[in-house]
Amino acid sequence: MSGENIVIMQAADMADMTRVVALNESAMELYNALKDCEFTVDDVVRTMCEIYEVDEPTARRDAADWVGQMRKEGLIVA
């Protein structure tokens, strides 16, 4: 998986190597920026605006897509 951005889903006490999620560069950048804290969609929007210098409506649409995909993959909950 050389050159790929991946997240390995962890079981309770060890890595579950059967559950690997590949992320594109921008999804991985957002994941890394937000992974160690609780955040809202508004936080994702703000982070997108800072990192990618996009307007707020574009960031809001993309943030909703990103959050939905992260939930679908089980990388974030709630």
Over residues 28-74, the pLDDT tens digits come to 899 899 988 899 999 999 999 999 989 999 999 999 999 999 898 88
Does 15 reside within a domain? Answer: no
Provide the residue range defining the domain that includes 41: 25-73
Residue 25 in this model has a pLDDT that exceeds 70: yes
Does 7 reside within a domain? Answer: no
What is the number of domains present in the chain? 1
Does 44 reside within a domain? Answer: yes
Look at residue 13 in the predicted model and tell me its pLDDT. 59
Does 61 reside within a domain? Answer: yes
User: What's the whole-model pTM score?
Assistant: 0.77
> Which residue did the predictor score with more confidence, 3 or 7?
7
Cα separation, 72 vs 75, in Å, equals 8
Look at residue 9 in the predicted model and tell me its pLDDT. 64
Look at residue 56 in the predicted model and tell me its pLDDT. 96
- Return the exposure string of 6-41: e unless at least 16 CB atoms fall within 10 Å of the residue's CB, then b: ebeeeeeeeeeeeeebebeeebbbbbebbeeeebee
Cα separation, 47 vs 64, in Å, equals 13
The residues pairing with 21 across neighbouring beta strands, listed in sequence order, are 7
Does 5 reside within a domain? Answer: no
